[in-house]
Chains A and B, each alone.
Chain A
Amino acid sequence: MTGDLMLIWPELILTIGGLITLMLGTFFGDRNVGLYQLSSLLTLAAAAAAVVALFGIETTVFSGTLSVDSFGGFAKLLIYAASFVCIVVAPRFFSGGMRAEYPTLILFAALGMGIMASSRDLMTLYVGLELNSLAAYVLASFMRTDERSTEAGLKYFVLGALASGMLLYGISLLYGFTGTTDFAGIAKVMGGELNIGLIFGIVFVLAGLGFKISAVPFHMWTPDVYEGAPTPVTTFFATAPKVAAMALMTRVVIDAMGPAVGAWQQIVIFLALASIILGAVGAIGQKNIKRLLAYSSINNVGFMLVGLAAGTQQGVEGVLTYLLVYMLTTLGAFLVVLQLRDADGNQVESIPALAGLSQRRPGLAAAMAVFLFSLAGIPPLFGFWPKYLVFEAAVNANLVPLAVAGIVASVIGAFYYIAIIKTMYFDDKSDTEFPKGGGAIVEDAVITASALWLSVIGYLFIPVLAVLSASAAAVLF
């Protein structure tokens, strides 16, 4: 048991760090932003260091309910990095309204997500998921006096609870028909003949997880929550939980349902195509940049599912690379959105107001253009590479029709990305001024670094990424 505790240092650090942060906020007051922010950032850094230190260990702890492996490690590093950035950018956004609950909730959410990414038992899966979700509901309504924010929180909660219900129902069916909650045990039963109960279990579990990754048709909450939640929280929602839920879904599909390929593959293919197409079509005509990025995230999840549908190690490697690149791009794009303030210091979210941004803030517009072209997957930007990987996996798994349909639908997606670029570059200047200044150097640095990396420089990192994602994906096979 003590030995097991030594292997979950990241989770322990997050728990303790989260509690300390909460205490600091309680004892020293919400005004001492620097203090609790520092403690939360240190916690995340320490947790990340612990993950790195544990790299290479492949084992399970607590009677096989939680795994310690490089797949989980890869996901956790991404999750911690995204959480880190979301804490860094928060104080400026909330200005006076920053409270210690914010970093604390993020830490607890990150803890839950870490558990999701490394669970190998239906019970730990659910515990991790709920820990993350409960923190997320509160975060969505963090600006409690803002109508949109509270509405977002409520919507997220109601629909999230529904999804959890479906997931639990699926879990109970799987448990009932396999007699175990252990992924490996479930897989053993799935290898035999499938009965109707198991199939229903698969469907409900995938539906519940589909909600978490906001795959169509379980995506309804995404645009509303993304729009209503405070922007740093939206940044968080669009990055870290996506990584966690996608990692969890990959693990469930490959580890627990692996042998029943025929049963889950059609579902994943449907989710993939529906997400790509609806994510693309729904984004057309959006006037709010956060809403638009919500549809973009639905669209991108569809592409990740293309890699997952392949069900091969190559496909999982593609998904992991995709997650990393997607996370960086989305972080960058949201940081740009955070920079958009008019002369009075109010956040600007309307797309028409961005007209002529390239003349007012050339650097910012250029970075945004890089992020958008990258999300659209247009080479030479690095967003092309993960798309290539997932499509390659699909073609090699004999899913050519899926690949063709997906890639053709990606052209629809390109339409709205280039439409924003049109607004920023081609249209005449809008009345909204975007005065410079006030931004933290960290934000500018993150934007610049990720934009540069996503332009051609990222290609130089392909060998490193390949090794990392291959070692992480190999765990599942």
Chain B
Amino acid sequence: MSGFPILSLMLAVPLVGAIACLFVGDKMARFVALGATLVTFVLGCILWAQFDIGGAQWQFTERADLFGRFSWALGIDGMALMLIMLSVFLMPLCILASWDAIKQRVGLYMAMFLIMEVVMIGVFMAQDLLLFYIFFEAGLIPMYFIIGIWGGANRKYAAFKFFLYTLLGSVLMLIAMIAMIGEAGTTDIPTLLNYDFPPAMQTWLWLAFFASLAVKMPMWPVHTWLPDAHVQAPTAGSMILAGVLLKLGAYGFLRFMMPMFPDASGQLMWIVFGLSMIAVVYTSLVALVQSDMKKLIAYSSVAHMAIVTAGLFAFNQQGIEGALIIMLSHGVVSAALFFCVGVIYDRLHTREIDRYGGLAKNMPAYALFFMLFTMASIGLPGTSGFVGEFLSLAGIYEASSWVAFVCTTGIILGAAYMLYLYRRVVFGELTKDDVKAMPDLNAREWTIMVPLAAVALWMGVYPESFLAPMRGDVTTVVARLAPAKPAGDAHLTAGKAKPAAAHGEPVHGSSHAGGVQ
């Protein structure tokens, strides 16, 4: 690797942009923010291009012992790379999405978004436990302002709830981190990843981390902050909340809880499975009866994240890879769906589903994109959602067929609530006069929709681009978890190759159809 500190640069660009936004006028702030996020995106692309797949686990590492007790240690592996890419990809789109919608205190708004970007990619880059915690917590402040200042009618309540809920969870994680640092004597994450904590201690540490990450995730029953925060946040705030912030929880599971406390993870996986199963069914049913579009999508996020947690705790390659793909896919698709809501909200200033109807007639382009993202959310083959759900459910099945069975109902219910939403908003008669007057997508909205749609399809058609950098890391985690892995109930056995295989290619697994001639 070259010694150029590209990761620090990626943090510095938005930070400088944020400071600039506070001082230039409102008009300039938009351009500064867009410029800064685009530069960061380009840097991210360079990062991806330079990333050596199959090379060292940690790449682009930087280390400066600036803080005495802990250090400015950055570095990424494949998982972090993909999540950073997700963040830097969504960020310029968020800025564009708020281009016209935000009219007051634009400078402050843009500064908060840029700080948010610094914090989010910092979380994925941090290689020092305390540095990680600082980034992890720092995200509360800009989000508090974004929801509280530019949110909807009930924004203050939502901002408080968001802040205090997530803070309460995180502080317990801090105590656990202190205990870990005391036990292992280091704050270096790569070292901690291979440190064997005593099993009895692991359980406590696991529970403390779980308290924090389950809230961030969010898992049932501590998900209640999410619908409030989503509904009240401005469009771009919801995009970034659903797109990236929800991934912090799952990232924490995969980066910390599973490899650092493997024994506890094995013992306590029933908690995760249990809560995930309840979440999938319960929140899907709740989503079904929502009359507010944003709330509906928020509950669908909880359901998707539940499949992620179940997939992660399947402890096998498919399950974890699938969970990661759902994270990426959900990051793109839910952000896109929130933007779809934002588009019509900007025109009619309501999120009530009943106020719309028949949009397919006067907004055909919008209806097309909305359809694509709805399908991706449901998991239609060819879209990103399918790949993730299929892989993770296959992994879950290997671990426990009952969990897989319950989680699969989530797919069916997901189709139900998303299609029902789509029917009520886009199809039907175009009767309401104000709805009739709504113009179709403008150039700015096209610019946002097209990249989101392209990525959702890319991930669905050729997921290998995204899976390849992460595969090695997933293998490492799976190997670390192997001793603690309980036996699954599926007892999968590879099918025997037919003697007749000489006629054709050797047949693998259970796909008999092609082999019989």
Contacts and interface: CB of A to CB of B under 8 A. Distances in A.
Q: Do A and B come from one complex?
A: yes
Interface of A: 359, 362, 373, 378-380, 384, 388, 391-392, 395-396, 400, 403-404, 407-408, 410-411, 414-415, 418-419, 421-422, 425-426, 459-460, 462-463, 466
B171 interface: yes
A466 B69 CA distance: 9
A404 B134 contact: no
A61 B160 CA distance: 54
Given A400-B179, A415-B160, A460 B171 contact: no
A367 to B, nearest CB: 13
Nearest to B204: A400
B167 interface: yes
Nearest to B148: A426
Given A395-B182, A426-B149, A400 B175 contact: yes
Interface string B191-210: 00000000000000000000
Contact of A422 (B105, B159, B171): B159
A395 B108 CA distance: 39
A379 B138 contact: yes
A363 B326 CA distance: 42
Contact of B133 (A373, A379, A414, A425): A379
Contacts of B134: 379-380, 384
10 contacts: A378-B141, A395-B178, A396-B182, A400-B179, A408-B171, A411-B171, A422-B148, A459-B66, A460-B67, A463-B68
Contacts of B450: none
B295 interface: no
B155 interface: yes
B145 A403 contact: no
Interface in B174-190: 174-175, 178-179, 181-182
Contact of A411 (B108, B133, B168, B179): B168
Interface in B131-180: 133-135, 137-138, 140-141, 144-145, 148-149, 155-156, 159-160, 163-164, 167-168, 171-172, 174-175, 178-179
B172 A408 contact: yes
B66 A460 contact: yes
Nearest to B179: A395
Given A373-B141, A408-B172, A462 B133 contact: no
Given A400-B179, A462-B67, A426 B155 contact: yes
**Nearest 7 Cβ contacts at the A-B interface:** A463-B68, A379-B134, A407-B171, A462-B68, A380-B138, A426-B148, A379-B137
A381 to B, nearest CB: 8
B68 A410 contact: no
B106 to A, nearest CB: 13
A466 B67 CA distance: 10
Nearest to A411: B168
B171 A392 contact: no
Counting chain B CB atoms within 10 Å of each CB, the highest count among A379, A391, A403 belongs to A379
Given A379-B137, A407-B175, A426-B159, A462 B69 contact: yes
Chain B: number of interface residues, binned into ranges? 20 to 34
Given A422-B148, A460-B67, A463-B67, A391 B156 contact: no
A228 to B, nearest CB: 31
B397 to A, nearest CB: 38
A256 to B, nearest CB: 29
Given A378-B141, A380-B138, A408 B68 contact: no
A68 B133 CA distance: 39
Contacts of B67: 459-460, 462-463
A411 B140 contact: no
A403 B204 CA distance: 14
A414 B141 CA distance: 12
Nearest to A393: B178
Contacts of A392: 178, 181-182
A398 to B, nearest CB: 10
A422 B133 CA distance: 24
A320 to B, nearest CB: 15
Contacts of A400: 175, 179
Contacts of A466: 68-69
Contacts of A388: 130, 174, 178
A403 B175 contact: yes
Interface in B53-83: 66-69
Given A378-B167, A380-B138, A422-B159, A391 B178 contact: yes
Given A391-B178, A415-B160, 8 more contacts: A362-B108, A379-B133, A380-B134, A380-B135, A392-B178, A403-B175, A410-B171, A419-B160
A98 B256 CA distance: 59
A363 to B, nearest CB: 10
Counting chain A CB atoms within 10 Å of each CB, the highest count among B67, B133, B179 belongs to B67
B171 A378 contact: no
B145 A425 contact: yes
Contacts of B133: 379
B144 A391 contact: no
A403 B178 contact: yes
A396 B13 CA distance: 39
A344 B226 CA distance: 45
B164 A415 contact: yes
Nearest to B107: A362
Contacts of B178: 388, 391-392, 395-396, 403
Contacts of A418: 144, 160, 163-164
A141 B134 CA distance: 43
A447 to B, nearest CB: 17
Contacts of B141: 373, 378
Contacts of B179: 395, 400
Contacts of A380: 134-135, 137-138
B167 A426 contact: no
Contacts of A362: 108
B160 A395 contact: no
A395 B180 CA distance: 10
Interface string B112-138: 000000000000000000100111011
A324 to B, nearest CB: 15
A371 to B, nearest CB: 13
A380 B139 CA distance: 9
A396 B185 CA distance: 12
A461 B134 CA distance: 16
A419 B160 CA distance: 8
A277 to B, nearest CB: 14
A414 B156 contact: no
Contacts of A373: 141
Contacts of A414: 163-164, 167
Contact of A404 (B66, B149, B172): B172
Counting chain A CB atoms within 10 Å of each CB, the highest count among B108, B163, B164 belongs to B163
A294 to B, nearest CB: 23
A395 B105 CA distance: 43
Interface in B22-61: none
A394 to B, nearest CB: 9
Counting chain B CB atoms within 10 Å of each CB, the highest count among A395, A404, A466 belongs to A395
A165 to B, nearest CB: 39
A384 B181 CA distance: 17
Contacts of A419: 160
A284 to B, nearest CB: 12
Nearest to A414: B167
Contacts of B156: 422, 426
A404 B68 contact: no
